[in-house]
């Protein structure tokens, strides 16, 4: 992703993320880059091109690029894209989704919602291996056990 | 000079693009090879090469290795183990989902579909629902001439259910979101059943969709793949098959490239085999056949795509739900199954849930404050429309247009599901549309059923793609015979959901595994012809 694209994304953090996410802008953008990196090639190119169009598209109306817009102007411009032509709508949706995902992947955002999956996973993992240890072992053995209903062997059919 | 690989090497490299291969450096089971083991163009020989390691491919691999055949499984995704599955949702999506889960069937509306790309395939990321093909569906297939009656399929279902430990949930693992779903169904007097899932004492980490971190879900990764390895099978992960090689109409093996986490393709892999099994799923199997130059007398490769379009509703309750503690989809509401609708409660971590809202900024923050009080409910629709997988420049692209009748059914189902959630105590419900619609009472839910909703307004997703190389007895209408052998070809078998002649209206994993078991039995019974 180009530095210009990053600038546009950074300018969108206050527009898309809740206020408590704004100080996390760098981490959010970094996360978005990772996520965009695994998207289908066509989609990646579409986002790259869309960000350029979004940035430049602010010029006629605001006489400056989108990444320089602040506050209400930034908000109004994004809303304009959200309700614009189909490609604009698609880009705005994609950015909203990717940035929301990145925002709520930040540890402090998850913690603020009381979402602490790691200790829960650890707790139930231990429970499974203690309370149900015998059943778990039996299933593990069953997976590898020869099947008495499978008598046909290659050497027999050859 | 191509080399024949026999043992894993020790090379390790840092993965790029954040798709860190967390298994690097970890000990792998004997028989599992990854990109780190392939140091040059490589040629491999085997009896049977299986493309894909999901529900169809892994099952076939285990059945054939146990019967004594030399089986090699080629998987595009990487190899992960249970210990690699963490609470880092985005990392799991990047590693386990094809294209980060952002795959789309084109149409109005588009349908977002998701496929696993890892050893174990989509069984690594599915919810583990394990249901036999409904009898009404099997009857339909029997009427089409297939020998797939419930009685004929019984031994295959039994075999699969034993292997992947299909069982009801332990009561203590059921979370509040599912209890609320059941409560709503009970109040409405609707049929609700405990889900059967492939799990050995699921303890409700609720991470099914991101790789089960406790090992309770008996995905192919922890069931059929270890079994195949135990009986001598080999699995080559990180290898993307580019085409099936052939000599005339006879499949002779596959050619592929090592695939790196950043998508780069590396060394060439050639596998020479007596039999080729395609099990890449209903999107990629037809594309692979087409780009390998195979043609069906019916001209139906890639046609007949069914998707079971799903929609989701988000309900907010007054009381804490904490849906992330408890088993995924512990119940299913089957009251409307004969009308093609099944309801269930799901849970998503905050990041993925936040993606589903059109809200942003302060409004998103305020809404997400209710995360702990949210229930996400989903609905599966047995569709009547069929789409198509086209192969464009060698790549699979799905096209699917939601039928008006299916859209009407979805609308009715959404209204009914909303009624259920209000009965359970929901205060607000967010509907599955681009321009979000909110319901605030049961009356709203009933009125919603009569609204005019444009078909294109629906937000649809699915993990059930089926039917693109359908089996049938008429070679002018189907792609394969009833044992998955592709018509007008030799030594080429399909063993995945592509085979389904019609959608099945329930979660397809067990049907795929049972059909694959049946196809494997046919291969074993006809080994003299197919594997000579």
What is the distance between the alpha carbons of residues B319 and B70, in angstroms, rounded to a whole number? Answer: 56
- In chain B, helix, strand, coil percent, each to 5? 30, 25, 45
A28 near A17, Cβ under 8 Å?
yes
Is B434's pLDDT higher than 80?
A: no
Task: Tell me the pTM.
Answer: 0.93
Are B69 and A154 a contacting pair at CB < 8 A? yes
Asked if the bond preceding B331 is cis, omega within 30° of 0, the reply is no
B380 near B464, Cβ under 8 Å?
yes
DSSP codes of every residue in B143-198 = HTT-S--HHHHHHHHHHHHHHTTEEEPPGGG--HHHHHHHHHHHHHT--EEEPEEE
Size (chain B), residues? 532
B37 near B8, Cβ under 8 Å?
yes
Spell out which residues of chain B touch residue A146, defining contact as CB-CB under 8 Å: 66
Q: What is the pLDDT of residues B193-202, one digit of tens each?
A: 999 999 999 9
pLDDT, chain B, mean: 92
A127 near B498, Cβ under 8 Å?
no
Q: What are phi and psi of B260, to 5 degrees?
A: -95, 160
Distance from CA of B336 to the nearest CA of A (A): 32
Residue carrying structure tokens 């294209």: B99
Q: Which of B215, B350, B369, B531 to mutate to test the interface with A (most CBs of A within 10 A)?
A: B350
Alpha carbon separation from B231 to A153, B65, B226 (Å, rounded)? 12, 6, 9
Q: What is the pLDDT of residues B371-401, one digit of tens each?
A: 999 999 999 999 999 999 999 998 999 999 9
What is the distance between the alpha carbons of residues B295 and B278, in angstroms, rounded to a whole number? Answer: 15
What is the distance between the alpha carbons of residues B141 and B501, in angstroms, rounded to a whole number? Answer: 7
What is the distance between the alpha carbons of residues A47 and B103, in angstroms, rounded to a whole number? Answer: 15
Spell out which residues of chain A touch residue B159, defining contact as CB-CB under 8 Å: 147, 149
Q: Which residues sit opposite B396 in a β-bridge?
A: B391
In this prediction the ipTM stands at 0.92
pLDDT for position A149:
65
Are B351 and A104 a contacting pair at CB < 8 A? yes
pLDDT for position A18:
98
Residue A92: closest C-alpha in chain B: B358
Tokens of B107: 């149409």
pLDDT for position B26:
60
What is the distance between the alpha carbons of residues B262 and B519, in angstroms, rounded to a whole number? Answer: 35
Spell out which residues of chain B touch residue A115, defining contact as CB-CB under 8 Å: 324, 349-350, 371
Residues of chain A with pLDDT under 50: 151, 154-158
Coil/strand/helix, residue B18: coil
User: What band does B9 get if pLDDT is binned at 50, 70 and 90?
Assistant: very low
The mean per-residue pLDDT over the stretch B516-530 comes to 94
Residue of B66, B207, B369 with shortest CB distance to A150: B66
Alpha carbon separation from B17 to A32, A61, B261 (Å, rounded)? 11, 36, 7
What is the distance between the alpha carbons of residues B294 and B286, in angstroms, rounded to a whole number? Answer: 10
Strands (E) across B237-349 are located at: 239-247, 250-259, 265-278, 310-316, 331-333, 341-346
Angle at CA of residue B375, ends B372 and B377, nearest 5°: 155
Q: What does the buried/exposed string (b/e) look like for B277-295 if buried means 16 or more CB atoms within 10 Å of the residue's CB?
A: bbbbbbbbbbbbbbbbebe
Spell out which residues of chain B touch residue A124, defining contact as CB-CB under 8 Å: 203-205, 214
Residue of B86, B90, B214 with shortest CB distance to A124: B214
B510 near B502, Cβ under 8 Å?
no
Residue of B66, B93, B223 with shortest CB distance to A147: B66
Residue of B227, B364, B368 with shortest CB distance to A113: B368
Q: What are phi and psi of A85, to 5 degrees?
A: -70, 165
Percentage above 90 pLDDT, chain B: 88
Relative to beta strand B331-333, strand B192-194 is antiparallel
pLDDT for position B262:
83
**Range B362-370, long-range pairs (CB < 8 A, 24+ positions):** B362/A18, B362/A19, B364/A16, B364/A17, B364/A18, B364/A100, B365/A17, B365/A18, B365/A19, B365/A20, B365/A21, B366/A18, B368/A18, B368/A104, B368/A113, B369/A113, B370/B316
Q: Is A68 exposed, middle or buried (0-12, 13-18, 19+ CB in 10 A)?
A: middle
Tokens of B515: 């059909």
């Amino acid at each position: 992703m180009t530095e210009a694209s990053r600038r546009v994304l950074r300018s969108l953090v206050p527009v898309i993320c809740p206020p408590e996410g704004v100080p996390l802008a760098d981490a959010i953008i970094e996360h978005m880059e990772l996520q965009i990196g695994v998207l289908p090639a066509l989609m990646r190119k579409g986002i790259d091109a869309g960000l350029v169009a979004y940035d430049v598209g602010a010029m006629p109306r605001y006489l400056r690029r989108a990444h320089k817009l602040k506050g209400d102007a930034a908000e109004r411009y994004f809303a304009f894209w959200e309700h614009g032509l189909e490609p604009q709508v698609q880009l705005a949706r994609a950015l909203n989704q990717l940035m929301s995902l990145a925002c709520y992947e930040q540890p402090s955002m998850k913690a603020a919602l009381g979402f602490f999956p790691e200790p829960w996973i650890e707790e139930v993992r231990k429970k499974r291996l203690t309370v149900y240890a015998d059943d778990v072992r039996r299933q593990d053995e069953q997976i590898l056990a020869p099947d008495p209903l499978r008598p046909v062997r290659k050497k027999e059919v050859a | 000079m191509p080399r024949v690989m026999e043992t894993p090497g020790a090379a390790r490299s840092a993965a790029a693009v954040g798709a860190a291969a967390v298994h690097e450096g970890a000990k792998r089971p004997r028989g599992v090879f990854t990109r780190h083991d392939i140091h040059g163009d490589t040629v491999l020989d085997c009896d049977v090469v299986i493309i894909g390691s999901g529900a169809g491919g892994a099952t076939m691999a285990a059945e054939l290795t146990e019967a004594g055949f030399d089986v090699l499984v080629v998987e595009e995704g990487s190899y992960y183990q249970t210990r690699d599955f963490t609470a880092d949702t985005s990392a799991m999506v990047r590693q386990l989902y094809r294209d980060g889960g952002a795959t789309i069937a084109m149409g109005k509306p588009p349908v977002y579909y998701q496929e696993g790309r890892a050893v174990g395939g989509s069984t690594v990321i599915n919810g583990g629902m394990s249901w036999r093909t409904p009898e009404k569906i099997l009857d339909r297939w029997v009427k089409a001439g297939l020998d797939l009656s419930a009685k004929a399929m019984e031994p295959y279902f039994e075999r699969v259910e034993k292997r992947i430990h299909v069982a009801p949930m332990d009561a203590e693992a059921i979370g509040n979101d599912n209890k609320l779903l059941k409560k709503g169904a009970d109040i409405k007097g609707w049929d609700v059943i405990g889900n059967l899932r492939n799990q050995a004492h699921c303890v409700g980490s609720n991470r099914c969709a991101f790789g089960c971190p406790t090992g309770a879900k008996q995905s192919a990764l922890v069931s059929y793949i270890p079994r195949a390895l135990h009986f001598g099978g080999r699995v080559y992960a990180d290898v993307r098959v580019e085409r099936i090689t052939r000599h005339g109409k006879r499949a002779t093996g596959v050619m592929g490239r090592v695939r790196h986490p950043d998508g780069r393709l590396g060394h060439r892999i050639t596998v020479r085999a007596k039999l080729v099994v395609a099990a890449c799923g209903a999107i990629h199997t037809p594309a692979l056949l087409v780009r390998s130059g195979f043609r069906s007398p019916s001209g139906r490769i890639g046609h007949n795509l069914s998707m079971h379009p799903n929609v989701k509703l988000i309900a907010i309750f007054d009381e804490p739900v904490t849906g992330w503690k408890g088993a995924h989809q512990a119940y299913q509401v089957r009251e409307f199954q004969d009308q093609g609708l099944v309801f269930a409660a799901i849970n998503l971590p905050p990041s993925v849930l936040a993606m589903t809202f059109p809200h942003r900024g302060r409004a998103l923050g305020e809404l997400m404050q209710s995360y702990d009080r949210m229930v996400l409910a989903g609905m599966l629709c047995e569709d009547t429309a069929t789409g198509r997988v086209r192969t464009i420049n060698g790549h699979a692209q799905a096209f699917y247009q939601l039928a008006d009748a299916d859209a009407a059914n979805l609308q009715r189902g959404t209204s009914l599901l909303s009624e259920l959630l209000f009965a359970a105590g929901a205060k607000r419900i967010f509907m599955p549309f681009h321009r979000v619609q909110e319901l605030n009472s049961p009356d709203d839910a009933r009125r919603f059923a009569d609204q005019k909703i444009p078909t294109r307004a629906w937000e649809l997703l699915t993990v059930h793609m089926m039917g693109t190389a359908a089996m049938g007895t008429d070679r002018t209408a189907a792609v394969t015979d009833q044992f998955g052998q592709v018509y007008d070809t030799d030594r080429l078998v399909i063993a995945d959901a592509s085979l389904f002649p019609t959608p099945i209206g329930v979660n397809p994993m067990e049907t795929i595994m049972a059909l694959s078991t049946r196809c494997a039995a046919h291969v074993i019974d006809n080994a003299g012809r197919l594997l000579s």
